[in-house]
Structure 1
Amino acid sequence: MPNLTGKTALVTGATSGIGLAGAQALAQEGAFVFLVGRRLDALHDAVADIGSDRATSIQADVTDQADLDRVAATIEASGRRLDIVFANAGINEFATLGNLTWEHHTKIFDTNVGGVTFAVQAALPLVNEGASIILCGSNGDVKAAPGASVYAASKAAIRSLARSWAAELVDRKIRVNVVAPGLTQTPGLADLFSESAGALDDLTSTVPMKRRARPEEIGNVVTFLASDASSFMTGAEVYVDGGVSQF
């Protein structure tokens, strides 16, 4: 199992779902985790669940540069440096081509691409040589999904960013990889299909393994990518989607 004892991690979008599961998994393997999210009550609950000896929270919006600067300043003031960055914060909303709006496009790209880009940039001065940066992608970058074109494009952008950043940071021995989940049983997925549970069941039936992922299954892959077990991996994308992207 990965051993992250003595490591320090930053996780964005850490209040629920995959972000929370990733933070929990990193802490379970010994890392101290800075949890970043917008909802203060949910952050308090997450820290209470993980334990204040293993985690602390910073309320911030990844689309706000002043908030990101404050996150970096808070970590620096703690005297810690970062060995792991899990840039997870992201959103999805459905809109077919004929119904797309600038507001929809801007909202998704500002969060899914801008929020990842500038969160990693803000953290970079605090990132140790040999660290691991993990971006949360999606199997939507290679699979068509009606109504999810802008979301899928944002995740394809994440895949491209990882390749470029891996090349830029290789001399610092910093690895950059992507974890790409498929359907995962999170509050966000439930909200997305709140008015069409039947559609979610139909979509789940197309998964070769015939179920949705549990968030902790994605968290396990995050700990792998964070650890020395993946020491010869950079610029890679790991699909955790029950076979959807491969079949």
Structure 2
Amino acid sequence: MNKFAGKKAVVTGGTHGMGLAIVKELLKGGAEVVLTGRNEQNIERARTELQSEAAHVVRSDAANMADIEALGGIVENKLGHIDYVFVNHGIAEINLLEQVTEASWDRHFNINTKGAFFTIQRLAPLINDGGAIVFTTVANDKIFPGISAYSGSKEAVGAIAQVLAAEFLPRKIRVNCVAPGYIDTPTMGVPGLTEEERAEFMKQGDEITPLKRHGSVEEVAAAALFLAADATFTTGVELPVDGGFAQGL
């Protein structure tokens, strides 16, 4: 099935987890993709796993303005114009109020928020009219302690997406967000967890998720691709992929 034949896409944070699942579906459907990451192990693993001439793996740090500028040049050189942009990169650290430092606060907002905004600013001239942008935010209606910087940075992305949805209307470029809940990724969204901590985190997530399980990266990818390719009369929305977590069921 060549659903995405002839389509070109950029996926930031595309070397592992949810981003890599999006990349795989795009490639399976015939698209050509530039995907980014900054962890060298993830970059090499993605190159080995994908083994596709249609996949261009790029080392790029979303917190670095020079990297963002360079990414724009690479995308223009490799793809020319693009149809879809998936802004999927991000970090999460669990720190209670008294543990949050200025450095950790800035790290979250530089990567999650500033990086997301300026990536779109740089790529905007390359997006075809009628294209689509999908940001990855978070199912944030229910809150637990220790994620003030993370939640604030991702809520800001959601607000930015709504503004951009209005700004891109003249070009018919749709802007939406996919908001994952507890998803089974290598880090569960929190790097540095031990295997025991990751298992406990997953168990807690299963207990408080109404569907009583964690989601898969493929389920998030399906939702993101739906917003990009199928939801052609939808813009400015945030689609939860969270098993009912944020809906109070």
User: Alpha-carbon deviations, 1:10-41, whole Å to 9, x = none?
Assistant: 00111111111111122222211101111344
Query: Shift of the alpha carbon at 1:80?
Result: 2.1
**2:50 counterpart residue number:** 50
Q: Which runs of 4+ in 1 moved over 6 A?
A: none
* In structure 2, distance between residues paired with 1:39 and 1:192: 13
Worse-matched range after superposition: 27-36 or 176-185:
27-36
Shift of 1:199: 4.4
Q: Who is 2:180 aligned against?
A: 181
| CA-CA distance at 1:161 after TM superposition | 0.7
Judge which range, 112-121 or 76-85, deviates more.
Answer: 76-85
CA contact (8 A) 2:93 2:191 kept: no
Aligned to 1:95: 95
- State which of 215, 227, 230 in structure 1 corresponds to 2:217: 215
Equivalents in 1 of 2:227, 2:111: separation in Å? 23
User: 1:63–1:111: 8 Å Cα contact kept in structure 2?
Assistant: yes
Secondary structure of 2:86's counterpart equals strand
Change (3 A) 1:212 1:202: same
- Please give the alpha-carbon distance, in whole angstroms, between the structure 2 residues aligned to 1:174 and 1:97: 39
Report the Cα offset of residue 124 of structure 1. 0.9
Q: Distance in 2 between matches of 1:2 and 1:175?
A: 22
String of CA shifts for 1:159-197, please: whole Å, max 9, x gaps. Answer: 101100000001101000000000111122164542634
Identical residues among aligned pairs (%): 36
**Counterpart AA for 1:143:** K
**Residue pairs, 1:57-68, within 5 angstroms:** 57-68=57-68
Unpaired runs of at least 5, structure 1: none
> Aligned ranges for residues 57-206 of structure 1 at < 5 Å?
57-140=57-140, 142-189=141-188, 191=191, 193-194=193-194, 196=197, 197-206=199-208
Query: SS state of the match for residue 103, structure 2?
Result: helix
Task: Report which stretch shifted further, 30-39 or 86-95.
Answer: 30-39
Q: Is the 8 A contact 1:182 1:242 kept in 2?
A: yes
Q: Any idea what SS the aligned residue of 1:245 has?
A: helix
Aligned equivalents of 1:170 and 1:127: distance in 2?
A: 13
Q: 1:103 to 1:152 in 2, by over 3 A?
A: same
Q: Give, as a single letter, the amino acid of the residue that structure 1 aligns with 2:180.
A: P
- Structure 1 SS opposite 2:67: helix
Return the alpha-carbon distance in structure 1 between the equivalents of residues 41 and 150 of structure 2: 27
Cα RMSD after superposing both structures: 1.7
Partner of 1:242: 243
TM-fit CA distance, 1:79: 5.0
Q: 1:172 to 1:202 in 2, by over 3 A?
A: same
Which residue identity lines up with residue 206 of structure 2 in the other structure? T
Task: Pick 1 or 2: higher relative contact order, CA cutoff 8 A, min separation 6.
Answer: 1
Which of 8-17 and 194-203 deviates more?
Answer: 194-203
- Looking at structure 2, the residues matched to 152 and 119 of structure 1 have their Cα atoms a distance apart, in angstroms, of 20
Match of 2:227 in 1: 225
What code does the residue aligned with 1:215 have? V
Rounded Cα–Cα distance in structure 1 between residues aligned with 2:107 and 2:43 = 23
Which string of whole-angstrom CA distances, capped at 9 and with x for unpartnered residues, describes residues 29-69 of structure 1?
Answer: 22111011113443243234333232111111111111111
2:37–2:61 contact (8 Å) kept in structure 1? yes
Q: Normalization by structure 1: what TM-score?
A: 0.93
Query: What is the SS of the residue equivalent to 1:187?
Result: coil
Q: CA 1:87–1:199 in structure 2 vs 1: closer, same or farther (change >3 Å)?
A: closer
Given the superposition, is the C-alpha separation of residues 79 and 239 from structure 1 closer, same or farther in structure 2, using an over 3 Å criterion? closer
| Count of residues paired in the alignment | 245
Unaligned runs of 5+ in 2: none
Query: In 1, distance between residues paired with 2:159 and 2:10?
Result: 22
